[in-house]
């Protein structure tokens, strides 16, 4: 490879493929492919969140990334520069070290377009997801500048926010003045560009996003999926601690997804054992939407991810409930959805 390159999320968990229902020969084929490409410099992070496991570009670094949730994180939170590439162009960029110099590589295209006034406290991951899901649908691929009650922005919240906004729409960049590196103030975020529109996020906008995401009618939960985008280590810890000393409903499966490198840490910490003792599975390398493999017979699933709740019903024909991590863990234990908008 001409430049630092890593493998994105794949369809097969290299250790748990049988739980996914994937034939052994396909899993072996993936391992042979990884050995071939690995020796040629493609680093097998096999995650949708390379920035969680050491692939962290610096401010201004030019990249050729795909994975919409990683692209928006790269541009907005890291201040590195990438358009939303695809599988064909990232492959070519890895081999040549080149990518067209336009779009988000240029200063002029990184300025804000829409001002977003957040009128209600957005703190929990669920609320960051709802904000992103509402916003993406309205601004599509424009560049929102967010102000207001955005409580303690951090990696895990911005990861969910960006993933949601790039699913309901096509947001590839946003500014949180004072938090994201290219704007210390609202003025700096717009840098002289006229504000195309000012949007307000309040209780009714939050409710609309929640109702748009929750398409299920059946409250019996067959499957709970946590980890889209892949969980950070503190998210795995939260899930493990919520499950400690409890048992899943026998008819409900729980899959927790985290990058392979973080799974090793989770194992060392005892989090994997805590989740497994409750009856859950900790997976890496993949997710249900990418692999199109779910536990057998799933009709209704629950997730803390606006992105997974948006895509999985279209891809697999299942019904989705979206809620907080706690709502989802309770659903895994009781087998029933009791989540609601607080």
Partner 1 sequence: MSDATPRMIVLHGRRVVGGSAEGEALVTRQTISGWGGINERDGTIIERRHELRGQSFNGRVLVFPGAKGSSGWSAYFHMARLNGVAPAAMIFTRMTTKVALGAVVTRAPAITALDQDPLSVIETGDWVRVDADRGVVEVTKR
Binding site for partner 1 (CB under 8 A): 66-68, 71, 83-89, 100, 103, 136, 140-141, 166-170, 172, 212, 215, 289, 310-311, 313-315
Identity of the residue, 212 or 269, whose beta carbon is nearer to partner 1 in the bound complex = 212
- To partner 1, the closest distance from the beta carbon of 286 in angstroms equals 14
CB of 155 to partner 1, least distance (A): 20
Instruction: Name which of 86 and 297 has its Cβ closer to partner 1.
Output: 86
Spatial distance between the Cα atoms of 129 and 75, rounded to a whole number of angstroms:
18
Q: Which residue has the tokens 């042979």?
A: 32
Query: Token pair 């996020």 is at which residue?
Result: 201
Cβ proximity to partner 1, 53 vs 289, nearer residue: 289
Residue with token string 């607080």:
342
CB of 241 to partner 1, least distance (A): 32
Longest dimension (CA), the chain: 58
Give one DSSP letter per residue of 302-330, joined into a string: EES-HHHHHHHHHHH--EEEE--HHHHHH
Please choose, from the candidates 328, 277, 279, the residue with its C-alpha nearest in 3D space to the C-alpha of residue 301: 328
Other beta carbons within 10 angstroms of residue 140's beta carbon come to 12
Q: Is the peptide bond before 229 cis (omega within 30 degrees of 0)?
A: yes
Q: Which is nearer to partner 1, 212 or 265 (CB)?
A: 212
Neighbours of 7 (CB within 10 A): 17
Please state the closest distance from residue 170 (CB atom) to partner 1, in A: 4
**Pairing label, strands 5-6, 114-122:** unpaired
State the Cα–Cα distance between residues 252 and 273, nearest whole angstrom: 18
Q: Which is nearer to partner 1, 13 or 172 (CB)?
A: 172
Least CB distance to partner 1 at residue 277 (A): 34
**Shortest separation between residue 272's beta carbon and partner 1, angstroms:** 29
For residues 305, 212, 69 and 165, what is the CA-based torsion angle, rounded to 10 degrees? -130
For partner 1, the closer of residues 206 and 263 by Cβ is 206
Specify whether the CB–CB gap between 189 and 111 falls below 8 A: yes
Nearer to partner 1 by Cβ, of 168 and 286: the residue is: 168
Q: How far is the CB of 196 from partner 1 (least distance, A)?
A: 14
């Amino acid at each position: 490879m001409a430049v630092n390159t890593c493998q994105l999320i794949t369809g097969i968990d290299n250790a748990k493929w049988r739980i996914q229902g994937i034939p052994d020969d396909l899993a072996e084929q993936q391992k042979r492919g990884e050995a071939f490409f690995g020796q040629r410099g493609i680093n097998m992070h096999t995650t949708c969140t390379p920035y969680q496991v050491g692939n962290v570009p610096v401010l201004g670094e030019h990249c050729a990334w795909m994975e919409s949730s990683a692209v928006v994180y790269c541009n907005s939170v890291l201040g590195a520069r990438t358009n939303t590439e695809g599988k064909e162009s990232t492959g070519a960029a890895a081999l040549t070290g080149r990518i067209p110099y336009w779009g988000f590589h240029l200063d002029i295209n990184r300025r804000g377009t829409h001002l977003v006034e957040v009128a209600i406290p957005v703190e929990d991951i669920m609320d960051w997801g709802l904000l992103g899901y509402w916003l993406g649908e309205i601004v599509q691929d424009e560049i929102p500048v967010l102000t207001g009650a955005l409580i303690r922005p951090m990696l895990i919240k911005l990861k969910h926010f960006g993933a949601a906004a790039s699913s309901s729409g096509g947001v590839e960049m946003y500014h949180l003045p004072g938090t994201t590196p290219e704007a210390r103030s609202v003025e700096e975020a717009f840098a002289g560009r006229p504000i195309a529109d000012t949007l307000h996020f309040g209780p009714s906008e939050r409710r609309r996003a929640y109702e748009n995401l929750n398409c299920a009618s059946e409250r019996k939960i067959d499957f709970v999926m946590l980890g889209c985008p892949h969980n950070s280590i503190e998210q795995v810890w939260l899930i493990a601690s919520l499950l400690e000393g409890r048992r899943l409903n026998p008819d409900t499966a729980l899959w927790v997804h985290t990058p392979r490198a973080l799974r090793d840490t989770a194992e060392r910490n005892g989090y994997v054992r805590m989740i497994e003792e409750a009856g859950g599975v900790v997976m890496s390398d993949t997710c249900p939407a990418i692999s199109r493999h779910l536990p057998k017979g799933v009709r209704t699933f629950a997730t803390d991810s606006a992105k997974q709740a948006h895509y999985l019903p279209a891809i697999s024909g299942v019904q989705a409930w979206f809620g907080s991590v706690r709502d989802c863990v309770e659903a895994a234990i009781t087998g029933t959805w009791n989540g609601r908008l607080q």
